[in-house]
Structure 1
Amino acid sequence: MGLIGLLGRITTLALALAVVMLAHAAPATAAPIRPVCHGFADPGALPREWSCGATHWRPTARVAWLRFDAASWRDAPPRKLILTIGRFDRATVSAYGDRGVQWSRELHLDDFTALENGPRMAVNLPAVSPQTKSIMVRIDHTWSIHTLSGTRLDASDAPGEPWGYRAMVLLAMLAGLLCAPVIFDLAFYTALRERFLLWHAGMTTGMLTQTVMASGLAVTLFGLTPVQLAVLSPLAFAVAVAAAAFFSAEFLEPDALSPRMRLLLRLSGWWVLLVSCTLALQPPGLGALGGQTYHLSFLPTTLVFGTTMILAVRSGSRAARFQMAAWTPILACGFDRLFRGIGLYSLPMAADQAIYLAMALEVVITMLGVADRFIVLRGERDRANARAQELEAAIERDPLTGLFNRHGIEDRFAAFRNAGFDTLAVVDLDHFKAVNDAMGHAAGDCVLAAAAAALSDDPDLVAWRLGGEEFLLLLRGRNATARAEARRQAIPGRVAATIPGLPAPVTASMGLVEMQRGSMLATPYAELYARADRLLYEAKHAGRNRTCSEKVTLFAGGDRRVADRRRSARQAA
């Protein structure tokens, strides 16, 4: 299945989930009942002071108390206790009337059921009578302040708010949107092998997991319990932040940051993995300090991230500009959650939806940044490849004649054999030293260039200058021997037309070996060259301006036999 088809299926699933959730939309219900006052006390004691109407939730002791008055529910008595998902030791709910305690119930995290419309959990309450004046909720050693600030009573069997089904549909669509970058990252990594793609996939996966866990989608899709959600949601967020630090360290251009700042960015990622992830597992004994410490543990990474982005932008980094635009909304939401997590103030739970909008913006902007980075990397690689080709050409080409030089000929010989080149010839100009002595080295260079032009004038011939006045030819196709001889005989005319006034024609001698294709594949370059070189010197000793050649056949059993040995051809000057 292609990438487009896979993305189509993901989109279809997201839309189907949206339709299902809309079809199961709950009817409108009364707003949850908020506590009128809250306070903190040590175990076994009541709060000395109550905060009524205050927005801050800074704990001053390990036990939190919340008071709900009957005037808040009037004729619709509460049926459920609702908490924001988070770990705590125990919760005690007590109803009070004119004669004191009417009933009391002790609850633990396992007693709650996760809700589908937001990061909340609920438990049924005993019947609340008309004589009930107030309900007191005591929560011991809560891990997160959000658990306290989000505590509500609800009069309906199917609690509504804080997130309506319209918001849940949008979150389902966001989850589908977050799947696409992961697929793109993994697909592009197979081609580019850039590590920042893996870190971006990890970051997006963490965001996707946190969105599914914290929004209630995990309850709809996987039926997770509050105990599981209380750990997985903060853990996924910590993993996403750590991956973001590693992603930025790899994604920013090499000259955007100093090595120390890049190392500091990586260390901040390891800090989150080791410290924040450990705190997300909610080790026992920390109580409310665990949640506050968890939120504060992101502060060093946030400061490092902000500092490195500012420095990178000031250095002219294109990638950093995309990063700043993508992460500014998330950082703003992160600081908001940090301040609320340590109890400085509280906001309605719907304010948590802002982080998901920020995630959607981050995904879109970061993918634009990744695409821009691809364009930059491709340009850099194209320029590097062009430069490498220029250097390769400079190394492998003879600057005087434009032919290949002897560097790499043996390494490439197998490729030429496979391409059908089955004839090898060595050509040497006759009495070339006399040309240099009579006309000078400049004229000698012109003679070499003209000879090279004469030799290479064949589409099925590849020529090398081995050094001095010696050349090597590889030929393929029909009549290869005759065509090589024609190239040798073309040298005097080409040289005379190019350099007038030479005292004598410039001729050439050639040694040539022609083999059957199967034999060519079985014969190494060194052996063929040595055979052709011996034939060249035979041509020289026979009077020059001629060709000595032989045709070699490989018979069964690997035994070589030579036919038409030392055929000689001579062209008069």
Structure 2
Amino acid sequence: MLLRFDIGPDDTLPRYLFSRRSALQAVHLLAIDRDGAIRQSSFSSGDLSNSLRGGYFKSSLPEVTRNTQYVIAAFDLPSHRMTLERAYLSQSDLPLSGSLLRSFLLLAILAGMLSMPLIFNAAFYRILNEPFVLWHSTLTISLLLTILVSSGLAAVLFDLPAMTLSWMTTIIFGFTVASGAMFTHSFIEPERLHPALRQALLYCAVWAMFLSISHAVFPFVARPIQSTLYTAAFAPILVIFVLSVADALRRGSRAAKFQALGYMPVILAGSVRLVTGITPWLESNDAMLLFYMGCACEVLFTTLGVADRFMAIRRQRDSARFEADVFERLSESDALTGLLNRRAIEQNFEMYRAEGYRALAVLDLDHFKKINDVYGHGIGDEVLKAVAETLQADPQVRAFRLGGEEFVLLVRGEDAQLRAERRRQAITAAVAAALPELGQAVTASMGMTNSRPDEDAGFAELYKQADRLLYDAKLAGRNRTKLTLVQGA
């Protein structure tokens, strides 16, 4: 493809050719004087250097004089229309003026903004361990790389060959689209996106990577139409993404609201690229300024969306933990008396022993069946509640109801036997005060055993010993305690 630039007698003499980066094989430059003299220079694609103007390459012209009438630029195998549409001659590269430095500063600030979500995501992922946090980080990194590679910062920071940055830009673009699709796939809440659309986002990610890698590695396979086909092939991805966000919004997705706000400028930039890239009579436009605005919106809104989702998931997990704790406490508590039950003492007995509770007492109400038979089960339940209130634990005593009229006390301290006996004897007065209509005294029998600190007796063994002592107390006439001071004595 040949481009001819006319050199007027009053024009500033150019020194460089500038054009948009895209895959090509070589550039040949000819300066043709009015007397027919020709000066020529040629550059392979690997010899082209980067311009400070983002996304452009430059090559030195052969000597251009006041006698030069034309400059001919011949491109071998250009792969994109923008290389021809955006070509121009200039006396110098963009000067490092205040305006250029300000634009670089704005780009650097934008790159710094994109770096901040990575710090937050690292903290979020350690807590949530959710895949959408990783995909948001991947998307953020790809946007950051796009800014660094496609802007003038690349010429300042990297100074890689122009064609190297060209294929890097292509692959990074596919990586950005793929990570955006995967982020949407994992970020929108369950049941807030149609399963077919969620599955389609996976295919979009694979398709985007396939397109970008194949176009970067094989840019000349179908060169006359490859660039147009490559651009058009992203249209289904754009449509599926818009449909996914719209469907999620229709279903009440909170995450989709943040995505719709954050991605709107990026979707507009993609639409501009798509329409101008596949319409022959329109000049190609990559809408980079709109893309940079989209990056800023993505940082603001999707990061807020991730934080909002983090708080929502955390609230759900806290609620689930609270409910689990409630159910756990209910499963270990006696519904009638509020005391802990047999399950609680069996599961936590080792912990209680470690806390010093080495005395175990089994307590049983005397003739309780008679109370139920004469006064009814309602009065019997009130008796059990009064007994439980009497046995309520202090820091040295833990009380449990094993079932029926049977209770267990775990006691610690040198006066453990005295503490347990005081509770047993207090039952009669406590029940009489709570139920004055009861026409009989309620007493209790108790068996109690103790273990030495160096012994590792389990609950079943100590309970068996105390229960046998309780049986002895019943045989001895009830309303009394049988105990062993030391296990085995």
Q: TM-score, normalised by structure 1?
A: 0.79
Q: Is the 8 A contact 2:383 2:435 kept in 1?
A: yes
Residue of structure 1 in register with 2:78 after alignment? 142
Residue of structure 2 in register with 1:68 after alignment? 5
Residue of structure 2 in register with 1:42 after alignment? none
Change (3 A) 1:125 1:420: farther
Per-residue deviation, residues 196-248 of structure 1 (Å, max 9, x unmatched)? 11111111011011111111323322333223211222222221221111111
Q: Is the 8 A contact 1:143 1:286 kept in 2?
A: no
Mapped to 2, the partners of 1:402 and 1:422 lie a distance apart of 23
- Matched letter for residue 152 of structure 1: Y
Q: Is the 8 A contact 2:77 2:220 kept in 1?
A: no
Structure 2 residue aligned with 1:547, among 463, 467, 481?
481
Residue of structure 2 in register with 1:570 after alignment? none
Mapped to 2, the partners of 1:414 and 1:280 lie a distance apart of 66
Mapped to 2, the partners of 1:90 and 1:311 lie a distance apart of 48
3-state SS of 1:133 partner: strand
3-state SS of 1:464 partner: strand
Mapped to 1, the partners of 2:20 and 2:279 lie a distance apart of 15
Residue of structure 1 in register with 2:113 after alignment? 177
TM-superposed CA distance for 1:102, in Å, is 0.3
Q: Is the 8 A contact 1:79 1:157 kept in 2?
A: no
Change (3 A) 1:110 1:530: same
User: Percent identity among equivalent residues?
Assistant: 40
Change (3 A) 1:277 1:443: farther
Mapped to 1, the partners of 2:466 and 2:53 lie a distance apart of 86
TM-superposed CA distance for 1:126, in Å, is 1.6
TM-superposed CA distance for 1:297, in Å, is 2.8
Mapped to 1, the partners of 2:55 and 2:301 lie a distance apart of 27
Matched, 1:346 2:289: no
Mapped to 2, the partners of 1:541 and 1:267 lie a distance apart of 80
Q: How does 1:147-162 map to 2 (within 5 A)?
A: 147-156=83-92
Q: Is the 8 A contact 1:235 1:281 kept in 2?
A: no
Q: Is the 8 A contact 2:23 2:219 kept in 1?
A: no
Residue of structure 2 in register with 1:13 after alignment? none
Mapped to 2, the partners of 1:477 and 1:221 lie a distance apart of 74
3-state SS of 1:540 partner: helix
Matched, 1:392 2:316: no
- Matched letter for residue 273 of structure 1: M
Change (3 A) 1:273 1:430: farther
TM-superposed CA distance for 1:439, in Å, is 1.3
Structure 2 residue aligned with 1:495, among 401, 416, 431?
431
Change (3 A) 1:96 1:478: farther
Structure 2 residue aligned with 1:534, among 432, 449, 468?
468
Structure 2 residue aligned with 1:223, among 148, 159, 170?
159
Residue of structure 2 in register with 1:52 after alignment? none
Q: Is the 8 A contact 1:276 1:298 kept in 2?
A: no
Q: How does 1:251-400 map to 2 (within 5 A)?
A: 251-287=187-223, 289-342=225-278, 344=280, 345-346=282-283, 351-400=287-336
Aligned residues: 487
Mapped to 1, the partners of 2:68 and 2:26 lie a distance apart of 23
RMSD: 2.4
Structure 2 residue aligned with 1:467, among 380, 394, 403?
403
3-state SS of 1:472 partner: strand
Per-residue deviation, residues 486-509 of structure 1 (Å, max 9, x unmatched)? 222221111122222334322222
Mapped to 2, the partners of 1:477 and 1:65 lie a distance apart of 101
Change (3 A) 1:354 1:491: same
3-state SS of 2:177 partner: helix
Q: TM-score, normalised by structure 2?
A: 0.92
Q: Is the 8 A contact 2:273 2:284 kept in 1?
A: no
Per-residue deviation, residues 343-381 of structure 1 (Å, max 9, x unmatched)? 6433788x5222112110111011222222233223323
Mapped to 1, the partners of 2:161 and 2:353 lie a distance apart of 69
3-state SS of 1:88 partner: coil
Change (3 A) 1:343 1:92: farther
- Matched letter for residue 241 of structure 2: F
Mapped to 1, the partners of 2:55 and 2:223 lie a distance apart of 20
Q: Is the 8 A contact 1:491 1:506 kept in 2?
A: yes
Structure 1 residue aligned with 2:458, among 521, 524, 528?
524
Structure 2 residue aligned with 1:439, among 375, 382, 398?
375
Per-residue deviation, residues 114-135 of structure 1 (Å, max 9, x unmatched)? 2344122222222112222111
Residue of structure 1 in register with 2:134 after alignment? 198
Q: Is the 8 A contact 2:50 2:155 kept in 1?
A: yes
TM-superposed CA distance for 1:435, in Å, is 1.2
Change (3 A) 1:400 1:355: same
3-state SS of 2:299 partner: helix
Q: Which moved more, 1:276-285 or 1:127-136?
A: 276-285
Residue of structure 2 in register with 1:246 after alignment? 182
Mapped to 2, the partners of 1:501 and 1:158 lie a distance apart of 103
Change (3 A) 1:390 1:103: same
Per-residue deviation, residues 473-525 of structure 1 (Å, max 9, x unmatched)? 22334522221222222211111222223343222222223234443xx3333
Change (3 A) 1:335 1:541: same
Per-residue deviation, residues 527-553 of structure 1 (Å, max 9, x unmatched)? 22223222322322332222222344x
Q: Is the 8 A contact 1:96 1:134 kept in 2?
A: yes
Q: Is the 8 A contact 1:322 1:366 kept in 2?
A: yes
Change (3 A) 1:218 1:463: farther
For structure 1, the residue ranges without an aligned partner over 5 or more in a row are 1-63, 553-560, 566-573
Residue of structure 2 in register with 1:85 after alignment? 21
Q: Is the 8 A contact 2:16 2:90 kept in 1?
A: yes
